[in-house]
Structure 1
Amino acid sequence: MPSASDASASALFDPATATIVVVTYNRSGLLTRLLESITTMDPKPGHLVIVDNASTDDTTEVVESFRDRIGTEIVYRRMETNTGGSGGFSEGMRIAYELGSTWIWLMDDDVEVMPDGLARMGAWAPRFKSIQGRRYDYDGSEFYWQYRIAEPLAIPIPFAPAGFDESGYKEMNSGCFEGMFIHRDIVAQIGLPDPRFFIYWDDQMYGWLASRKTTAVIVDEFVLRRTREIKQWDMGIRHMNASSNAYRYYIMRNRGHMKQYYRRLGVYNPVLFGLGTALTFGKELIRLLFVERTVRGTSNLFRGIRDGRKIAEDATWEPMPPLTVSAPTD
């Protein structure tokens, strides 16, 4: 936890310079719960950016119903098509950056914010520029997020220690758009989230890029709570969530984008990266068998591998560009 200097540290953080970015798609009920939680926040952010991925439900009406009572300025961006979480967060980050936000707090629509969540994150803002808070699961238990990746394999380390020492934080080299709190200086250096991912691996890649520019941390602060129950397989120490055919496709396809990033940054090892891809494929097979109890869906994995190879072989591929040229940040 932050030390006795919390008060002075928090004084260096102005909540009005923070923007919450929410991406939503056809889940107005969940969005309503999130917006209700923001009404009770103290302090509140300066802006709330809501990116609607062309929902066909009553999302627009829900957003409009909160304008006069949420206590902060809402910027509502309705996309013409569904751009996935990746496209939504890329657009939301762009809007927040152009609003002049110093801090950008990303979250999905299936969480709610703790009333003092922004204050808790802001207490760490004077020390770090890429911060991940903790969250409760749907049942109120502590949610474990895989905060470190095995870089050569480009996959999460599932059993990285969950505990915190007296410092109240641990260094991470990954990211999660369900709670990433990032400074505009880092966004300027690494650019916007890559919308080409559509879904999956986008936040891990973005967090990894951030960790190459600054000391990225996960802090022992519970600031969010998941509001959607997800089917899980209880493995004792950890849980494995259910997935979908779309996720199965993109988790394999997007290894092609990751390979391209690794090549451009000079960290690509074909043997180890290939091993990471094989382990990912095996994990998805286990998920099918033990969480969803079916063998149907493997075709999506193979389609993803095929299309990922095409991406990896694309000689015209370029990474997302930085927004400004600036000196590296400690």
Structure 2
Amino acid sequence: MQPTANVAIVVVTYNRPDFLRQLLASLQAQSVAPRWIIVVDNASSDHTPEVVAAAAAAAEGSRTPIVSLPQPANIGGAGGFSVGVSKAVELGADWLWLMDDDVEALPSAVEVLLNWGERFKCIHGRRYDANGQPFFFQPVFSEWLGVPLPRLGDPFADADHITINAGCFEGMFVHRTVVEQVGLPDPRFFITWDDAVYGWLASRITPVVLVNDFVLKRLRQQRQISLGIRHLNDSSDLSRFHVMRNRAYVANYFAQAGVFRPFGFALGTMLTAFKELTRIVAIERRAEGVIPLWRGWRAARRIRREKNWRPMPQLAHQQTPSSRAQ
């Protein structure tokens, strides 16, 4: 019989039913079955609800039921992960695996991550891009600049893992005890910066690692250019607005931790804007993309002036069903 682990996989989806169908099939085919697959549908306007309903019906009576959490409105990736993580903690999962809807899991992914879970509590496996090439996200969150930085060279040349201080919700595998201490993902981000900050918060209480095992493959193709040390993908006006607006939330979290440095952070904001301008000029070639950057920067200034802003609260005072049973 296929072994089952106390793992909840949290998937946030919006208007990508064909990718979602492939992802759910790959999650049901794991060598070690997760206990739950939680699907947060951000008010999709296409046939995504039918895809989720069909997958849930097919999973009835199986070792891995699908828990559907349809939302009345689009609350973004950040809001979706906040809702999904809350449900996973409520169900009593020991491990949570977070991912977007445009990837598929390799057959032994859960088993591989659980093996690493014997040593660490916040783990990122590697991912193939849609073109089959390895993707390497920026794992170093500079507290002076307030931006994640690429790591030069091959970090796995003489190591099977590296310690990092940033996160990525396209594959973060995190233990519930870390979630209880950090709190839920902050829905105020809507999209962008939420996972980087969450990984940074986790790194302040436990080692966060990127391991040299591939566990995911991206399904969605994107236009991109190579900058040598990293690639830039195409983006959207919605993303550009939040990239700039959410700098305020990054600054607020850094200030709460006592690591905010105004000059360095301002330089990091300039570098962020330059990176987005490079996308617009080199990939998308549309001058209108500058407007959302300006609007996002203005919105960030308003957020920074809020006097009653607070970070997401810890959940450590709450006991989950599994923690009560221990």
TM range (shorter): over 0.9
TM-score (norm 1): 0.92
Residue 285 (str. 1) matches residue 274 (str. 2): no
C-alpha distance after superposition, 1:52-86 (max 9, x if no partner): 00111111211121225444111100011000000
Q: In the alignment, residue 51 of structure 1 is paired with which amino acid?
A: V
Q: Could you say if the C-alpha distance between residues 137 and 249 of structure 1 is closer, same or farther in structure 2, counting changes exceeding 3 Å?
A: same
State the aligned residue count: 313
Choose the corresponding residue for 1:266, options 231, 244, 258. 258
Deviation at 1:132, TM superposition (A): 0.4
After superposing the two structures, state which structure 1 stretch, 246-255 or 153-162, moved more: 153-162
Match of 2:18, SS?
Answer: helix
Match of 1:116 in 2: 108
Q: Give the distance between the partners of 1:236 and 1:150, measured in 2 at CA.
A: 20
Sequence identity percentage: 47
Match of 2:25 in 1: 36
Runs of 5+ in structure 2 lacking a partner? 319-326
Match of 1:80, SS?
Answer: coil
After superposing the two structures, state which structure 1 stretch, 250-259 or 165-174, moved more: 165-174
Q: In the alignment, residue 304 of structure 2 is paired with which amino acid?
A: A
Q: Give the distance between the partners of 1:282 and 1:103, measured in 2 at CA.
A: 38
Match of 1:230 in 2: 222
Residue 19 (str. 1) matches residue 8 (str. 2): yes
Match of 1:186 in 2: 178
- Contact 1:148–1:160 (CA under 8 A) maintained in structure 2: no
Q: In the alignment, residue 55 of structure 2 is paired with which amino acid?
A: F
Match of 1:217 in 2: 209
Q: Give the distance between the partners of 1:67 and 1:287, measured in 2 at CA.
A: 39
Q: Give the distance between the partners of 1:97 and 1:153, measured in 2 at CA.
A: 33
- Contact 2:140–2:151 (CA under 8 A) maintained in structure 1: no
Match of 2:65 in 1: 73
Match of 1:196, SS?
Answer: helix
Deviation at 1:292, TM superposition (A): 1.0
Choose the corresponding residue for 1:151, options 143, 151, 159. 143
Q: Give the distance between the partners of 2:311 and 2:107, measured in 1 at CA.
A: 37
Residue 323 (str. 1) matches residue 315 (str. 2): yes
Q: In the alignment, residue 58 of structure 1 is paired with which amino acid?
A: H
Q: Give the distance between the partners of 2:256 and 2:149, measured in 1 at CA.
A: 23
Q: Give the distance between the partners of 1:161 and 1:126, measured in 2 at CA.
A: 28
TM-score (norm 2): 0.93
Runs of 5+ in structure 1 lacking a partner? 1-13
After superposing the two structures, state which structure 1 stretch, 222-231 or 33-42, moved more: 33-42
C-alpha distance after superposition, 1:219-276 (max 9, x if no partner): 0010000000011013344311001101110000001111111111111111111111
Q: Give the distance between the partners of 2:30 and 2:94, measured in 1 at CA.
A: 19
Deviation at 1:165, TM superposition (A): 4.2
After superposing the two structures, state which structure 1 stretch, 306-315 or 37-46, moved more: 37-46
Choose the corresponding residue for 2:199, options 192, 207, 214. 207
- Contact 2:150–2:229 (CA under 8 A) maintained in structure 1: no
Match of 2:87 in 1: 95
Map 1:141-180 to 2 at 5 A. 141-180=133-172
RMSD in angstroms over aligned alpha carbons? 1.4
Q: Give the distance between the partners of 1:147 and 1:236, measured in 2 at CA.
A: 16
Q: Give the distance between the partners of 1:82 and 1:34, measured in 2 at CA.
A: 21
Match of 2:132 in 1: 140
